[in-house]
Amino acid sequence: MANLIVVLAVVVALIVFLGNAVRVVRQQRVAIVERLGKFNRTLEPGPHLLVPVLDKVRHNLDMRENVVPFPPQGVITEDNLMVSIDSVIYFQIIDPVRAAYEAQDYIKAIEQLTMTTLRNIIGGLDLEQTLTSREEINQKLRIVLDEATGKWGIKVNRVELRAIEPPATIRDAMEKGARAERDKRASILIAEGQRQSQILSAGGEKESAILRAQGDREAAVLRAQADRQAQMLRAEGEAQAISTVFGAIHAGQPDQALLAYQYMQMLPSLAKGDANKVWIVPSELNKALEGLGSAVGSITSGIPAQASGQFTAPPKIDVQGEIEKQNAAEAAASERTMQEAIAAAQQLERPAVSAHVERPAALEAASSGTSEPAAQGGDPATNGSTAAAGPEHAEPERG
């Protein structure tokens, strides 16, 4: 029984000895070993043997990048406003020995250093700069922390300000200012839109007025040309009628008795009308009536049965033919204008040989439009039809 107890004691002592002698370090971690209270060595990841009782692992440090958020801190700006800043520090241990022995609690030290540095930086900025210069504040804070933590074996990689909270009254004022700015931009946009709309409306009204004026001008020109042609046709018709009557009278060779008879037939027409209060009796009436009382038969016997003189009727006016000629002339003018425009377009498509080459005559005619011929000599179709119909409309020789 005593031997069994001794064996069990030896086995337990051996297990305890092996448990204290063998130490396994995980990946991305470093162990600090002290021998009799003094730094001895560092243990890399993997299994290691220690001297029991003499060697002890005091620190087991994580070599990965650490992310430490700090609680919101009150900071006073240059314009005496209290803001609350919430920050995050990204750091990494690069020297585990210095990190273990240079700072008692390096995380708390970094937190206090961050607070004091933020107060120094924000104290030189007003609220507007604090809210708009976040990247600049992060850069300055990182440089200061990196310099301070370098002797601790720690490198600060990044510093981020998660939130900058101004006082509630300042937030309300900022919201009102932002709302006013948005309303201002909206009013400006609305005014700009109304301005553009009015400009476009005025431009449309101007163009429509110009087009209406051009249409009225062309309509007036066409009406004037139509009136001119109608007056010419009426004048030519009246001229031919007068020539026909005049020729018939001369060809009939009327005598004094016939003229007196016709004169008597016109007297009732002269007397018609309520406004005719005064009659004018010509002096030749007595002479004309001298032979009328003797016998009506002698008067009627003096009227010839048919015209015995030589009379040639003037040529008839072919109005339909003139209209057809005018339409043909207008169609020819339109075709000629279209061909000139096509030639001008083809000339524009060809590469220019020289910058000083004059534009072809077809392009000049196409660009000038049809208003120039009308201004110089009137409507070409009208001129052509008038010129063509000239010989036919000539006044016949009066006898």
pLDDT single digits (tens) 184-239: 999 999 999 999 999 999 988 998 999 999 989 989 988 888 888 888 888 888 88
- Tell me what the pLDDT averaged over the chain comes to: 75
Helix 380-388 vs helix 168-252: crossing angle, to nearest 10: 10
What residues does 327 pair with on adjacent strands?
none
pLDDT at 287: 56
pLDDT at 187: 93
Q: How many CB atoms lie within 10 A of CB 102?
A: 15
* Banded pLDDT at 14 (limits 50, 70, 90): confident
Residue 368: pLDDT over 50 = no
First-residue to last-residue Cα distance in the chain: 182
Of 155, 139, 24, 3, give the one whose Cα is nearest residue 92: 155
pLDDT at 310: 57
pLDDT single digits (tens) 105-143: 888 888 888 888 888 888 888 888 888 888 888 888 888
Compute the distance between CA of residue 14 and CA of residue 102 in angstroms, rounded to an integer: 37
pLDDT at 163: 82
Q: Is the dihedral of CA 207, 211, 217, 220 positive or negative?
A: negative
Higher-scoring residue by pLDDT: 97, 3: 97
pLDDT at 351: 57
Residue 302: pLDDT over 60 = no
Contact in structure between 119 and 136 (CB atoms under 8 Å):
no
φ, ψ at 156 (rounded to 5°): -90, 115
Compute the distance between CA of residue 66 and CA of residue 88 in angstroms, rounded to an integer: 10
Residue 369: pLDDT over 50 = no
pLDDT at 191: 93
pLDDT single digits (tens) 317-360: 666 677 788 788 888 988 888 888 888 888 877 754 444 444 44
pLDDT single digits (tens) 82-105: 888 888 999 999 888 888 888 888
pLDDT single digits (tens) 233-262: 888 888 888 888 777 777 776 666 776 777
pLDDT single digits (tens) 371-396: 444 334 444 444 443 433 333 443 44
Residue 313: pLDDT over 80 = no
Q: Which value, to the nearest 10 degrees, does the dihedral of the CA atoms of residues 247, 248, 252, 253 take?
A: -40
Residue 173: pLDDT over 50 = yes
Contact in structure between 88 and 114 (CB atoms under 8 Å):
no
- Long-range pairs of 164-171 with CB within 8 A, sequence gap ≥ 24: 164/83, 164/84, 164/85, 164/130, 164/131, 164/134, 165/72, 165/83, 165/84, 165/85, 165/86, 166/81, 166/83, 166/127, 166/131, 167/81, 167/82, 167/83, 170/81, 170/127
- 35: Cβ contacts below 8 Å, ≥ 6 apart: 51, 54, 55, 56
Quick one: tokens of 269?
Answer: 């027409």
Helix 319-349 vs helix 380-388: crossing angle, to nearest 10: 140
Compute the distance between CA of residue 94 and CA of residue 153 in angstroms, rounded to an integer: 5
